[in-house]
Amino acid sequence: MSEEVGLDAPGKKVLLMGNEAVARGALEGNCQFAASYPGTPASEILETMARLAKDFEIYAQWSTNEMAAFWAGAGATYCGLRSMVSAKHHGVAWMTDQLIHISHWQIGKGGLVVVIGDDPKGHSSANEYDSRNLASRVFEIPILEPADPQESKDFTKTAFDFSEQLKLPIYVRMTTRVCHASGDVLLGEFPKEKRVPSYYPTFFEVGMEMLMAKGWVDVAYLHEKLHTKKLKEAAEISNSFLGNKLEMNGDEEIGIIASGVCRHYVEEAVDKLGVNVAFLQLGMSFPLPKDKVSKLIKSVNKVIVFEETDPVIESELRSFAKDVSPGVEILGKRNEFTPVSGELNPLDVMGVLSKAFGKPLPSIPERKELREMIKPYEGMRRIILCAGCPHRASAYAVKLAAKTFKGGTYIGIGDIGCYGMMGPPPLLAFTLTNCMGGSVGMANGISKTGVDQPVVAFIGDSTFYHAGIPSLINATFNNAKFTTVVLENQVTGLTGFQPHPGSGYNAMGEETKPVKIEDLVKACGIEFVEIVDPYNIKKAAEVIKRAFEQPKASVVICRRLCTAEELRRRRSKGLSPPKAFTIDPSLCNGCKICVNEFGCPAIIWDEQKKKASIDDVLCVGCGNCTQVCPEAAPKVIRSEKK
């Protein structure tokens, strides 16, 4: 990550990633408390805050889940500190109850900014739902939508001022392209003084206000106040917000409304096509800047709405236009004029505008050299675990254990993490997955149906701390019989090796007491708890077999440090990578078990020779192939790592 995020150099332009720019904006906005649970595309926000925390005398934490992160951030506001909570869009579901409560009651005297990384097209997610639906219709809090790194910094800084003015959390909606794009950012000034924490319970103040006005605590009064006062004030802010820009001459027939990164796509498409449009750019999409919207829709015949992922702005616009300009035609996702799902790009927008204006698409030069470069790899790459990943060995051990039972199969349920790659071929460790903690929860229900196969819930250590514990208690409470395999690789691997409660250190690198999973499992009432090293596949399979035979819920903890993290630590200590294995071709019988069943990406199959070999660049020396191979072909000869 860029070392220039923390530069005290106002007026200087530096290259920052969108997430880094958010962190910079928080620092310029005097944010003194930051909390998050790692999730792509938003992880780098907290990572940046944590890296700079000691230099700026602020506090940053990875929390056990997004709910814990939100409450920690909200707590800081009651001591007058400005606080930021960040997460990916899935994390918003975990904040829902708290955000509804706090938007009705009130944050503390410090501002509270909630930065969410939505993932249109689901590049790093199980789905692409649009979190603005919750922010606008359920939480009813203002939404800012930056389009680039500069706005990511500026909007985050401004959001703290809005939050304290409205006494509401402010929602900053990022998307994958904005989170991970890099661009020049003009740095501003850091605050001259830090705030001194002082507890002031505004929650109590609001309750007393109601008692004085109503004689009792009337929650409907809080909802009424949100609509009649706070959201009206927010609408006035939206009308004057510099991030909401209306460009029009008055002679245009077609208007465009766009939010977030779509604004840049529209600018490029309009320039390429050379069309005349009235253009309303929304940096604050909720509440709508109704003065600007009104001016636009009264002067044009048609309005095209570009937004990712759902028709949130479009729906609000349609409702508003019925009273203000009922004759205007609104084109967007709801009538399938614009793409109804996924993320947009300049070509998508250009295609829509060429249809609207009846103009042919301009020819775009093809990058032939780039296409030639990627052509050999098209259609070849598949999602797969890293070479040496302990999760691969864990999955293989479960399959070996299941073979000893009638039918030789089991019902496997997966969860969210890098171990999700255990599901696709060749491992096929599970056929069902849902959301954080869903594996243990669904195993409860499946086991109670009376199926006669072993039921296995796979869950990672970070996910177990996040969401697995309540369902494991539920298993004890309801006498469920299934096996939970906790894949403990001691980091939150998929999102960038962030620490969790079992890692022994926190976001700022401080040493903490590890919370042992086996202790938590026993506290949940589970009696059969065993710890195995997945690199010892035979022993792990024997333990898992015994777990299957238990009359009650059982837990097997597969404990082995993430291989990628181990290599990172070796490099940081100046150690060379482990030696690599090679296969003796005279011993390889061509059975392809190592390729078709185990699936290590370091193992290569030669179709002509009908032999396997090992790519010593990819091999990390785990030795699992020596246990999988029936002929022990890889066990003797080693070669030095290149």
Question: What is the tens place of the pLDDT at every residue in 255-280?
Answer: 999 999 999 999 999 999 999 999 99
Burial class (CB in 10 A: 0-12, 13-18, 19+), 251: exposed
Instruction: Check whether residue 568 and residue 592 sit in a common domain.
Output: no
Q: Which of 521, 544, 572 is the last residue of a domain?
A: 572
> Mean pLDDT across the stretch 424-441?
89
> Mean pLDDT across the stretch 626-637?
77
What pLDDT is attached to residue 381?
59
Choice between 207 and 515, residue whose per-residue pLDDT is larger = 515
Of the given ranges (42-51, 88-97, 527-536, 627-636), which has the lowest mean pLDDT? 627-636
Instruction: Check whether residue 407 and residue 489 sit in a common domain.
Output: yes
Q: Which of 555, 572, 589 is the last residue of a domain?
A: 572
In a domain, 233, yes or no: no
Going from the C-alpha of 278 to that of each of 151, 216, 275, 338, the distances in angstroms are 22, 51, 10, 18
Phi, psi of 334 (to 5 degrees): -70, -25
Choice between 224 and 111, residue whose per-residue pLDDT is larger = 111
In a domain, 373, yes or no: no
Band the pLDDT of 370: cuts 50, 70, 90: low
**Alpha helix positions (H), 217-284:** 219-225, 231-240, 262-273
What pLDDT is attached to residue 420?
86
Instruction: Check whether residue 116 and residue 21 sit in a common domain.
Output: yes
> CATH number for the domain including 283?
3.40.50.920
Q: Which of 395, 424, 425, 421 is nearest to 410 (CA)?
A: 395
In a domain, 381, yes or no: no
Q: How far apart are CA 579 and CA 621, in angstroms?
A: 6
In a domain, 8, yes or no: no
For the ranges 211-215, 555-559, 595-599, the maximum mean pLDDT occurs at 555-559
Of the given ranges (5-14, 339-348, 386-395, 500-509), which has the lowest mean pLDDT? 500-509
Q: Which of 572, 590, 608 is the last residue of a domain?
A: 572
What pLDDT is attached to residue 407?
83
In a domain, 235, yes or no: no
Instruction: Check whether residue 150 and residue 265 sit in a common domain.
Output: no
Band the pLDDT of 495: cuts 50, 70, 90: confident
**pLDDT above 80 (res 378):** no
Instruction: Check whether residue 128 and residue 145 sit in a common domain.
Output: yes
**pLDDT above 80 (res 220):** yes
For the ranges 211-225, 319-333, 564-578, the maximum mean pLDDT occurs at 319-333
Q: How far apart are CA 123 and CA 523, in angstroms?
A: 37
> Mean pLDDT across the stretch 495-522?
90
> CATH number for the domain including 461?
3.40.50.970
Q: Which of 11, 36, 32 is nearest to 19 (CA)?
A: 36
In a domain, 481, yes or no: yes
Amino acid residing at 269:
A
> Mean pLDDT across the stretch 489-494?
85
Q: Dmax over Cα atoms in the chain, in whole Å?
A: 89
Instruction: Check whether residue 26 and residue 174 sit in a common domain.
Output: yes
Instruction: Check whether residue 40 and residue 171 sit in a common domain.
Output: yes
**pLDDT above 70 (res 241):** yes
In a domain, 232, yes or no: no
For residue range 92-107, list pLDDT tens digits in order: 999 999 999 999 888 8
Share of the chain above pLDDT 90, in %: 73
What pLDDT is attached to residue 639?
53
What pLDDT is attached to residue 374?
63
Average pLDDT over the chain, rounded to an integer? 91
Instruction: Check whether residue 61 and residue 80 sit in a common domain.
Output: yes
Q: At CA 629, angle to CA 624 and CA 633, rounded to 5?
A: 100
What pLDDT is attached to residue 367?
64
Choice between 638 and 58, residue whose per-residue pLDDT is larger = 58
Cis peptide before 499 (omega within 30 of 0): no
Instruction: Check whether residue 210 and residue 114 sit in a common domain.
Output: yes
What pLDDT is attached to residue 337?
96
Share of the chain above pLDDT 70, in %: 95
What's the number of domains the chain is made of? 4
Instruction: Check whether residue 193 and residue 334 sit in a common domain.
Output: no
Q: Which domain holds residue 531?
A: 390-572
Contacts of 144 (CB under 8 A, 6+ apart): 155, 158, 159, 170, 171, 172, 173, 243, 283, 284, 285
> CATH number for the domain including 614?
3.30.70.20
> Mean pLDDT across the stretch 156-174?
97
In a domain, 383, yes or no: no
Single pTM value for the model: 0.91
Amino acid residing at 266:
V
Q: How far apart are CA 551 and CA 547, in angstroms?
A: 9
Q: Give CA 439 to chain center in angstroms.
A: 19
**pLDDT above 90 (res 21):** yes
Q: Which of 200, 180, 21, 35 is nearest to 113 (CA)?
A: 35
Choice between 105 and 394, residue whose per-residue pLDDT is larger = 394
Band the pLDDT of 568: cuts 50, 70, 90: confident
**pLDDT above 60 (res 637):** no
Instruction: Check whether residue 271 and residue 307 sit in a common domain.
Output: yes
Neighbour tally for 469: CB within 10 Å: 18
Q: How far apart are CA 333 and CA 313, in angstroms?
A: 10
Neighbour tally for 321: CB within 10 Å: 19
Instruction: Check whether residue 191 and residue 87 sit in a common domain.
Output: yes
Token pair for residue 49?
A: 């805050």
Choice between 637 and 273, residue whose per-residue pLDDT is larger = 273
